Structure 1
Amino acid sequence: MASVFQKCKTDEKNRNFPCAKNRCGHSWTVRYREPGGRGGRQREKSFGTRREASDYGIRVENDKREHAYLDPELGKILVRDYAEDWLSRRAVKDTTRANYVRFIELHLGPHLGGKPLASVTSRDIEVLLKTWIEEGLSRRTVYHTLMIPLRSLFRSAVTEKRIPESPVAHIVVPKIKTKRLDEKSLPDGKAVRAIADEIRPSWAISVWLMAGCGLRIGEALAVRGADFEAGHVRLRRQFVRVKRAGGYKAELAPLKAREEGEWRDVPVPTSVLAAVRLHVERHGVGDEGYLLHAHHGGEVLDSNYRTEFKAAVRRAGYGDEPWTAHTLRHFFASSAIAGGVSLLEVSRWLGHSTIQITADIYGHLTPDAGGRLRSVMDQVLTGASVVGADHEDRAGSVLTTGAE
């Protein structure tokens, strides 16, 4: 059990010993052992009054019985040091690790890095989020991207019994609405063809893969000639840009929202298949069979590709348009949906983790949805089963039925 006493009356080494006053005003000490019985480390903590010391001793003993005891020394580690240790123990993809390193170095460290872990409060987190936004970060980046490692970091600290609860746990994060695609901002088929004509000839096939199949940039860069079969392309991996010693490198990684070994099959238009065959005849394939390759045969870095794509947009005469390589993926999705392809199918071929993502971005593009709804409801309400029947003639029966 924890003991409460005054050192001024019991410790000969105390500068106030011996103290003869009953109400001397000297500090009170709590002495207790950490969990582990007699083998537990002995600790002491001083308070200004006997009541404070007694309350603390009772709380410590209760925490020990309920296995909720926290070693105060563990919470003294600085946030920056704990974050680095936390990340070193995470089994994550290289791209995720690189993103977390940037999070710690650029966003977390400068603001909270010097604070002891146990001293961080919910107010500190609220101020941190507000500061990030004031520094120019978008609300989507703050409330979605950066909150992921922030929550995980403090959740681990709770699990390791460094802090009693996460200061992030009770933070109310506003829901960020997915931005609907403005189809009027997209290129048409003529513009897509013009861009393909102006981009580096050996990379032109990428334009057709992204516009005709909805591939992401990293997926298009990782397509091999052997991936095409029976009118489909099987996507297994994507190239991601990772910082290594000596600069950035293109490395293979699992598809987005998928684990290692999972794949996605996408139908390939006949015109794109013909373009693939022509590309192989004219430009060959890279060292590992990739359709897109650098002059030396190696992988193409996505940053180099983006630069070349923007230059091709300018050369094609569309320099005033905010088009990026990812715009071609939007072109694919909007064209498919406008042509009557279901959201479910488009979602599967785009590789979205849920159909809700597809619906939020492209759902408003479904062709003549209002017209189909009117036709269905007219049939249900009036009993008309023949297309083109005069529903106005049946309106009276609907109203009459309602009046009765």
Structure 2
Amino acid sequence: MAKASLERGMGSLQTICEPLRGKPYPDDAPEKCKIGKCACEWEARYRDLGRSRRKWFETKAAGLKHLTDIYNARMFKEGRVVRPKGKAPLFKTFATAWLTDEKTELAQTSRELYTSVLKSANKYIGDVPVDKLTEAALKALVKKLETVVDEETGKQVMSQYNVVCLFQFLLPPILRKAIEDGWIRANPCNKIKLKPIPDADRYVPTSEQVFNIALTIEKFWRAAVFVMAGAGLREGEVLGLTPDCIQGDTLHLYRQHGSSDEGYSKLKHDKSGKGRWVPLDPIVKAELEAHISKYNVAPNQPIFYSRVFPDKPYTSDTLHRRLREAVMRLGLHDLGITAHNFRHFFASMCVSRGIEIAEVARMLGHNDIQTTYRTYYKFKDDNGKIRTAINGFLSEGVPDDASLAGVHQLAPRNSANQVSDLIKKLEALTGQQVVLQPRALAA
């Protein structure tokens, strides 16, 4: 008895007269079957609504179509999709189609980043069919990307940041689409383990270097340096600024401009679309207002508008080029200063001056405070405050007449703090400065 080759779960399709491969027909088989003109019925066995079914068909094709229809209906009801016919597409073809599809919701900056990462990934898996991207194949790829070093540069063939981007943010949605289309059954990225991204080792400019760069760069870009260093903006957010973003002593950011000329998008990690607010330093505010006045920026015009297309901002390439020229003139080119160094300057200075990590994360627009903590907590220096606090609660229990070696009161006693608080309250009530006079000793 021969069986038709079917997908698992479709059932079986067979006829009693057709022989198995390599075996002769039974002696009682009809003569038409022996000469290749079999007219025997095909028996289809399958399960429908939980019950076993049998049905006979005149031809193999009719039975196969019936089983396929039953199987497809069950898969559709269960929310699954049947594997398409033919060979699976190559990864580079499938991934490019997903990335360029208008239905794929991505910010412009994310789309540009993924395009770059995808270009690097295609060197290794671009010609692999989607259904061959198994968990074992991806683990082997991770090991290669994380361990193989380029002979010329001596660096990892793909930066760890791009490796994490590929396996955590790019491959999962692409392979989810492959599951929806029926090419694979499960996402092989789910069990991939990656090395963490190393802490940023970006150079932190000094305040003097920031001012020198601002005074050296082409005058049109001077305010951009101050707003990046004084508000922690990304270069795309700087290019997305318009005069209405200045709201009193606050800077309202609600969009950014891509590195190409494809227009604006929502801020990175801003799912609500409401943007974020950053306190506006008087120096930064003065520089922005002077720029708007000097270059006659209209209310609805980008603050750093293009001279060729005044209704559009310059691209980040222009900003980077002007910044690179200023850095070269100052002899700071060996420090690797780019526009992002000013954002790094802002965050590291905020943390080192005691601003809470949560507040810094909010101003930077990080979606995870752990990102801010891992990158910038190393700049926090509270040892002096910690020593003062420890000495404060430790010295409270020392009697006034005690004479103990090594006891040094760094922090004022609680009584002194209470006196200070009372003086502040009196000054607030009277509007006058309160000065305590030392009490004269009795004769």
TM range (shorter): 0.7 to 0.9
Give secondary structure in 1 for the equivalent of 2:374. helix
Q: Report how many aligned residue pairs link the two structures.
A: 356
Change (3 A) 1:344 1:325: same
Change (3 A) 1:283 1:223: same
- Matched to 1:290, the amino acid is P
Asked if residue 11 in structure 1 is aligned to residue 18 in structure 2, the reply is yes
Give secondary structure in 2 for the equivalent of 1:266. strand
Q: Aligned match of 1:307 in 308, 317, 321?
A: 321
Change (3 A) 1:67 1:280: closer
Question: What corresponds to 2:375 in structure 1?
Answer: 361
Asked if residue 205 in structure 1 is aligned to residue 223 in structure 2, the reply is yes
Q: Which stretch shifts more, 71-80 or 163-172?
A: 71-80
Alignment of 1:1-80 (within 5 A): 2-3=11-12, 10-11=17-18, 17-18=24-25, 42-43=63-64, 71-73=82-84, 76-80=87-91
Asked if residue 235 in structure 1 is aligned to residue 253 in structure 2, the reply is yes
Asked if residue 153 in structure 1 is aligned to residue 166 in structure 2, the reply is no
Q: Aligned match of 2:276 in 225, 249, 264?
A: 264
The whole-number CA distance in structure 1 between the counterparts of 2:46 and 2:114 is 38
Q: Is the Cα–Cα contact under 8 Å of residues 340 and 366 in structure 1 kept in the other structure?
A: yes
- Deviation of the 1:209 alpha carbon: 0.5
Q: Aligned match of 1:127 in 123, 135, 140?
A: 140
- Matched to 1:256, the amino acid is K
Q: Aligned match of 1:219 in 222, 230, 237?
A: 237
Change (3 A) 1:307 1:145: farther
Alignment of 1:174-189 (within 5 A): 174-179=195-200, 181=201, 185-189=203-207
RMSD: 4.0
Q: Is the Cα–Cα contact under 8 Å of residues 33 and 42 in structure 1 kept in the other structure?
A: no
The whole-number CA distance in structure 2 between the counterparts of 1:193 and 1:41 is 81
Change (3 A) 1:295 1:167: same
Asked if residue 293 in structure 1 is aligned to residue 305 in structure 2, the reply is yes
- Matched to 1:313, the amino acid is V
- Unaligned runs of 5+ residues in structure 1 are 21-28, 45-59, 242-247, 396-404
- CA deviation map 1:29-60 (0-9, x unaligned): 9976698998998549xxxxxxxxxxxxxxx9
The whole-number CA distance in structure 2 between the counterparts of 1:30 and 1:303 is 69
Q: Aligned match of 1:343 in 334, 352, 357?
A: 357
Change (3 A) 1:175 1:333: closer
Q: Is the Cα–Cα contact under 8 Å of residues 199 and 312 in structure 1 kept in the other structure?
A: yes
Change (3 A) 1:281 1:366: same
- Deviation of the 1:273 alpha carbon: 1.8
TM-score (norm 2): 0.68
Q: Is the Cα–Cα contact under 8 Å of residues 32 and 43 in structure 1 kept in the other structure?
A: no
Change (3 A) 1:362 1:111: closer
Question: What corresponds to 1:118 in structure 2?
Answer: 131
- Unaligned runs of 5+ residues in structure 2 are 1-9, 28-41, 66-70, 151-156, 409-443
Change (3 A) 1:107 1:11: farther
Q: Is the Cα–Cα contact under 8 Å of residues 43 and 63 in structure 2 kept in the other structure?
A: no
- Matched to 1:317, the amino acid is G
Question: What corresponds to 1:26 in structure 2?
Answer: none
- Deviation of the 1:362 alpha carbon: 1.3
Asked if residue 171 in structure 1 is aligned to residue 192 in structure 2, the reply is yes
Identity of aligned residues (%): 23
Choose 1 or 2 for highest CA Rg. 2
- Deviation of the 1:282 alpha carbon: 1.9
The whole-number CA distance in structure 1 between the counterparts of 2:299 and 2:111 is 28
The whole-number CA distance in structure 2 between the counterparts of 1:86 and 1:43 is 33
- Deviation of the 1:120 alpha carbon: 2.8
Q: Is the Cα–Cα contact under 8 Å of residues 75 and 116 in structure 1 kept in the other structure?
A: no
Give secondary structure in 2 for the equivalent of 1:233. strand
The whole-number CA distance in structure 2 between the counterparts of 1:222 and 1:320 is 30
- Matched to 2:364, the amino acid is L
The whole-number CA distance in structure 2 between the counterparts of 1:238 and 1:232 is 17
Q: Aligned match of 1:352 in 356, 359, 366?
A: 366
- Deviation of the 1:299 alpha carbon: 1.2
Question: What corresponds to 1:400 in structure 2?
Answer: none
Q: Is the Cα–Cα contact under 8 Å of residues 117 and 166 in structure 2 kept in the other structure?
A: no
- CA deviation map 1:256-294 (0-9, x unaligned): 110363121111221222222222232222694222122
Give secondary structure in 2 for the equivalent of 1:320. helix
